[in-house]
Amino acid sequence: MGVWERGFASVYDRINAAMEAAFMGRRRAAMIGPLEGRILEIGAGTGANLAHYQRAAQVVCAEPSAPMRRRLAPKIAAAAVPIEVHDAVGESLPFDDASFDAVVSTLVLCTVRDVEATLAEVRRVLRPDGRLLFIEHGGGAAGRKGRWQQRLDPIWTKAACGCHLTRDARRNLEAAGFSLNEFEEFTPKRTPPLLVPFAQGVATP
């Protein structure tokens, strides 16, 4: 993606600042703060989650975008737990089977090239009693809103460096063989209508 990918990474935090202040920040903190053991975060982006890890023994970040990885550095330096970063895509994770206690995915399944392959890899690297914790967006809208998401998805995907409006988190997780232990669908106030609904939950293999 070249110049466009670098530009997108440079403004990503500013684009999401209002959303972080309104609801994402507190949801990240509540979901991530209690996590213990060895954690894998897929699609770490610019590191919005890193300040919220408080009890993990280690957090391993898989992030395939070089511009995004460069923006992780100051957040890694300020983190309360050890952070390790890998240049890796969700569809091909360079980690051993059953090597993580939990996997974290926040606004990532909308962007990966192959959701099925990514979730298969997540299942592979999770320990048998491990958990996938997620916050995702889009894909569940009905009626007129859903039709607009379908129509605008090709344009949005190009503008937002691969993000899709039409990925349904519940459907994709269940199709991949996960059980949804917790699932909440919500529509935050003052959020662009094309991005809603959001979904948050905990899934187990």
Mean pLDDT on 97-114: 97
Structural domains of the chain, with CATH: 3-204 (3.40.50.150)
The pTM (predicted TM-score) of the whole model is: 0.94
Q: Is the pLDDT of residue 141 over 70?
A: no
User: Average model confidence (pLDDT) for the chain?
Assistant: 94
Lowest-pLDDT range of 44-48, 61-65, 189-193: 189-193
Which pLDDT does position 139 carry in this prediction?
73
In the chain, the percentage of residues whose pLDDT exceeds 90 is: 79
Give the DSSP per-residue string, the chain. Answer: -THHHHHHHHHHHHHHHHHIIIIIHHHHHHHHTT--SEEEEES-TT-TTGGG--S-SEEEEE---HHHHHTTHHHHHH-SS-EEEE---TTS--S-TT-EEEEEEES-TTT-S-HHHHHHHHHHHEEEEEEEEEEEE-S---HHHHHHHHHHHHHHHHHTTT--S---HHHHHHHTT-EEEEEEEE--TT--GGGPPEEEEEEE-
Mean pLDDT on 93-98: 98
Give the model confidence (pLDDT) of 20-43 as tens digits: 999 999 999 999 999 999 999 999
